Amino acid sequence: MFGYYLDLALRSLRRHMVLGVLMMLAIALGIGASVTMLAVLHNLSGNPLPGRSDVLFHPQVDPRPEDLPGAKDEPPDDLAYVDAVNLYRLGIAPRRAVMSGNWLPVRKDAPDSPLAMYTDRATTADFFAMFGVPFLYGSAWSAQDDAGHAQVVVLSRAMNQQLFGGGDSVGKTLVIATKTFRVAGVIDDWNPQPHFYDLNDGAFGKAEQMYLPFFTWLDLPQDYGYGPMDCWGNDPNAGAHDPKAKQCTWAQFWVQLDTPAQVADYRAALVQYSTQQHQLGRFQRAPNVRLRGLLDWLDHKHVIPVTVRMQTWIAFSVLLICLVNTVGLMVAKFLRKAGEIGVRRALGASRRDVFAQCLVEAGVVGVAGGLLGLPLAWLGLWMVRQQPVNFAASAHLDPSMLGVALALAVLSALGAGLWPAWRASRVAPALQVKSL
Amino acid sequence: MEIRPILASLRKHRIPTVLIVLEIALTCAVLCNAVFMIGQRVAAIRLPNAIDERNLSMVTLGGTDEKTSGSDIPRNLAALRGIPGVQSAAVVSTLPLSHNNWGWSFGTRPDASTFDKKTVNFSLFFLGEGAEQALGLRLLEGRFFNADDYAGSSFGSAPLPETHVTLVTRSVAERLWPGQSALGKTYYSMPHYYTVVGVVADVLRPNIGSQGEDWSYYSAFFPLSAGGSKGNLRRYVLHSAPGDRGRVMRAAEQKLAALNPNGVTKGMLYTDMRDQYFADMRSMAWMLVLVCAVMLAVTAFGIVGLTSFWVGQRRRQIGIRRAVGASRGHIMQYFQTENFLLSGAGVVLGMALAYGINLYLMRHYETASMPWYYLPVSAVALWALGQLAVLGPALRAAAVPPVVATRSV
């Protein structure tokens, strides 16, 4: 029966070509617009580290004064230097990394080589294992390197290409901010999106070009900034831009906690630490700690740009308009066929048969609209990628989104056809046959 | 034109009628809000900024030793001024729309401190000697800084410069001292205080937010000597004819790199920086324009489709009307009036919906309130679209010959 209905549907569409094309075009445009935005949203709200996100946590403590005007309840996102070092030394988490980012002047270790600025992340040894960073050559530096302020660096694949022309550069040296560093490893392309471990510079964008030990980095002779600093109070030394100032938060801190028991222990340890600092007189507020998992953290920080959310809403209103449009056209079309349906009913077709026939026709329109909508969505995403916006580069249509798009098209066309088909199946055969 | 027969016929086709009205209403609602958003973004992209944007190029110099800046900066500037085509050159701490913001809150009472809620936050621009001319600041009242102001200003250990003179924008002057001349007035952040020596036309902050247009212009300028700049003066600004900018910028990059072997230089045209600042907004505006076009096209398709259908269905009735004396004009008018009524119902519903959506967006996305005139303008646009879409099917209806009436279907 399905084959017969399909044949009928194609004939009917061919007979009312203009109407059929208009319906398909409407669905295609609606699907194209909504799938484009859905794909952008899907890419932006993805899990940056699938498989690892469940064990990564972001501890926060609150070192702010009691009476800070306009302060929210939420503790600062980042840690002050003292807290960063204390929590780093706490050592009860299986893995932990303290970090910050800026950019540094780098040149090859050869006379007269040109100086250029590269972005860097200063962090501690566990960063690589904890976040599952893939290495091409060599390996991460060790905890001893961290403790000994060793001058070692891990390069990104792209920076290794630029400075050393690719290849295994482990053991080679380069000059960073006037100091000589030895290459410990080269990592493969690695750029989790959103850039969860440090959202200060926007949640989407490029990965840093090199990684160096945090405490070595703090020793560098000049101030190249310590990432955005959030300071409070009327400190006379604030102009000196001192990273170790007690009233400035700027360092990111992440821990790996493998079991719920570890999470509970760590939370208790944070409260205990805050209490201790409170007793010492450094913390003025009662213990105010947070320990969010990676995905909770992203959710809390609202990483998806407001513009993208709004565009998605608009795209779905367009789809809704397209569907209303299709429903209207289908009602008109099926009602026009009242005579034909009357004859089929008089010859013995049940209401259910007529209903099925109409739905098949709606489904054909949906599949055709969806197939036409996919290239439109592809075109839309191509246009998004051309935009000079930092989240744009990651906009692409993956296979799962293709399936979603096609399913959305067929479902929406069937949804739009449901009611017109039901109405068509209610046609009274006698009345129609009489008027023929 | 009698509308009763039209209403009677619409009542017979209640479902398609309701659907087309709903479609027009939804389109109208989304169109109003989308056009409003486009308008807001275009307004932001075009915000005026009273510096010579089209004449400016800049080079940022990083990695130099701040201890020797007292001799390095004058030497660098002398070299830059020697580049052919450079009309003036100076060094500044930051530029409007550069994202490099240093904000501080001040009050008009001598005991004002940053803990005070009545203080006003503005962006601080530190100027090296001659920067007023190099940037092209427009003086409205008072004077620019003089050589003594520059020589006497430096950074100590505090985050604010040790000087007592300042230039403010017109917006700051009006915010702090509404209705009065700001000249000679003083603003405070204990223990610092600054007296206004001049008022300049509105210059944008390094970061403009969504706190309203005036807020974007809360900028204040301070003189700073090269020797006492403590690394705060790193952006060299070059004023030249617009056609010379690219060449001047490249020459300046080379000169600064040659003079400062440990330094890192990065050049940019001011207009490029401004474009980059607004890239996000521009892309969103284009996206919205595209979505609006798609939406209007779909709605027009809907109207064409449905009216064509009705025309086909009513061929016989049209024939009869023609046979009993209706002119082609009458038939056309019938369909046009019908569409006018449908669009009318749609836009009335749509305007209410648009208002509701705006209220929702205001609550959840910090959108501004939509001015009332967006509603009628969108309504008229949709009305026009409806009339345009119905033209084709109406003409086809008018072409139905009267003889159809005598034939059976």
Domain boundary among A244, A274, A300: A300
Residue of B nearest to A115 (CA): B264
pLDDT of A241 reads 67
Q: What residue segments make up the domains of chain B, in order of their start?
A: 4-46+280-406, 64-262
Q: pLDDT at residue B353 above 60?
A: yes
Q: Do A325 and B23 touch (CB under 8 A)?
A: yes
Q: Does A178 contact chain B (CB < 8 Å)?
A: yes
Q: Do A317 and B297 touch (CB under 8 A)?
A: no
Dist. CA B316–CA A435, nearest whole Å: 14
A322 in the same domain as A283? no
Q: Looking at beta carbons, which residues of chain B come within 8 Å of A236?
A: 157-158
pLDDT of A305 reads 74
Q: Do B294 and A423 touch (CB under 8 A)?
A: no
Residue of A nearest to B26 (CA): A321
Q: Does A110 contact chain B (CB < 8 Å)?
A: no
A203 in the same domain as A350? no
Q: Which of A22, A25, A105 sits opposite B264 (nearest CB)?
A: A105
Residue of A nearest to B230 (CA): A240
Q: Does A113 contact chain B (CB < 8 Å)?
A: no
Q: Does A27 contact chain B (CB < 8 Å)?
A: no
Interface test with B, best of A15, A21, A118, A314 (most B CBs within 10 A): A314
**Pairing between β-strand A152-156 and β-strand A179-187 as defined by DSSP bridges:** parallel
Q: How far is CA B202 from CA B48, B138, B142, B197, in A?
A: 8, 9, 15, 16
Lowest-confidence region among A34-48, B164-178, B344-358: A34-48
A282 in the same domain as A139? yes
| pLDDT of chain A, 436 residues: tens digit per residue | 788 888 888 888 888 787 888 888 888 888 888 888 888 887 777 788 888 999 999 999 999 888 776 667 889 999 999 999 999 998 789 999 999 988 888 988 888 788 888 999 999 999 999 999 999 999 999 999 999 999 999 999 999 999 999 889 999 999 998 899 999 999 999 988 888 999 887 778 788 999 999 999 998 876 677 777 777 766 555 555 678 888 889 999 999 999 999 999 999 999 999 999 999 888 888 899 999 999 999 988 888 777 777 878 888 888 888 888 888 888 878 877 888 888 888 888 888 888 888 889 888 888 888 888 888 888 888 888 887 766 776 677 778 778 887 888 888 888 888 888 888 888 777 777 776 5
A197 in the same domain as A104? yes
Q: Does A25 contact chain B (CB < 8 Å)?
A: yes
Domain boundary among A284, A300, A316: A300
Q: Do B308 and A18 touch (CB under 8 A)?
A: yes
Interface of A with B in 226-255 (CB under 8 A): 234, 236-240
A192 in the same domain as A134? yes
A149 in the same domain as A235? yes
A323 in the same domain as A383? yes
A122 in the same domain as A257? yes
A208 in the same domain as A91? yes
Interface of A with B in 258-287 (CB under 8 A): none
Can you give the residue range of the structural domain that contains A122? 53-300
Q: Looking at beta carbons, which residues of chain A come within 8 Å of B302?
A: 22, 26, 324-325, 328-329
Q: pLDDT at residue B1 above 80?
A: no
Q: Do A239 and B230 touch (CB under 8 A)?
A: yes
Residue range B328-338, pLDDT digits in tens: 999 999 999 99
> Which residues, in sequence order, are bridge partners of residue B121?
B105
Domain boundary among A239, A267, A300: A300
A243 in the same domain as A110? yes
Residue range A297-349, pLDDT digits in tens: 998 888 877 777 787 888 888 888 888 888 888 887 887 788 888 888 888 88
A225 in the same domain as A101? yes
- Contacts of residue B88, defined as CB under 8 A and 6 or more positions apart, other chains included, come to B81, B130, B133, B134, B238, B239
Rounded to 10 degrees, what is the CA torsion of B7, B9, B13, B15? 0
Interface test with B, best of A317, A385, A422, A426 (most B CBs within 10 A): A317
Distance from CA of B318 to the nearest CA of A (A): 17
Q: Which of B22, B158, B290 sits opposite A324 (nearest CB)?
A: B22
Dist. CA B326–CA B398, nearest whole Å: 10
Q: Do A318 and B301 touch (CB under 8 A)?
A: no
Lowest-confidence region among A129-138, B55-64, B192-201, B243-252: B55-64
- Contacts of residue B205, defined as CB under 8 A and 6 or more positions apart, other chains included, come to B96, B101, B122, B123, B216, B217, B218, B219
CB pairs A-B closer than 8 Å: 145
Q: pLDDT at residue B304 above 90?
A: no
Q: Does A144 contact chain B (CB < 8 Å)?
A: no
> Buried b / exposed e across B107-133, counting CB within 10 Å, b at 16+?
beeeebebbbeebbebbbbbbbbbbbe
Distance from CA of B181 to the nearest CA of A (A): 30
Residue of A nearest to B155 (CA): A239
Q: Looking at beta carbons, which residues of chain A come within 8 Å of B190?
A: 234
Q: Do B309 and A332 touch (CB under 8 A)?
A: yes
Interface test with A, best of B61, B229, B301 (most A CBs within 10 A): B301
Q: Does A379 contact chain B (CB < 8 Å)?
A: no
Q: Looking at beta carbons, which residues of chain A come within 8 Å of B105?
A: none
Stretch B212-238: mean pLDDT: 89
Residue range B359-395, pLDDT digits in tens: 988 887 777 888 888 899 999 999 999 999 999 999 9
A311 in the same domain as A293? no
Distance from CA of A96 to the nearest CA of B (A): 32
> Which residues, in sequence order, are bridge partners of residue B167?
B198, B221
Interface test with A, best of B296, B309, B311 (most A CBs within 10 A): B309
ipTM: 0.74
Stretch B204-208: mean pLDDT: 90
> Residue ranges of the alpha helices (H) in B46-95?
69-81
Q: Return the structure tokens found at B176.
A: 């702090």
- Provide DSSP, A9-41: HHHHHHHTHHHHHHHHHHHHHHHHHHHHHHHHH
CB neighbourhood size of A221 (10 A):
9
Q: Return the structure tokens found at A277.
A: 């600092």
- Contacts of residue B270, defined as CB under 8 A and 6 or more positions apart, other chains included, come to B51, B53, B54, B56, B57, B58, B95
Q: Does A30 contact chain B (CB < 8 Å)?
A: yes
Q: Do A324 and B299 touch (CB under 8 A)?
A: no
Q: How many domains does chain A have?
A: 2
Q: pLDDT at residue B189 above 90?
A: no
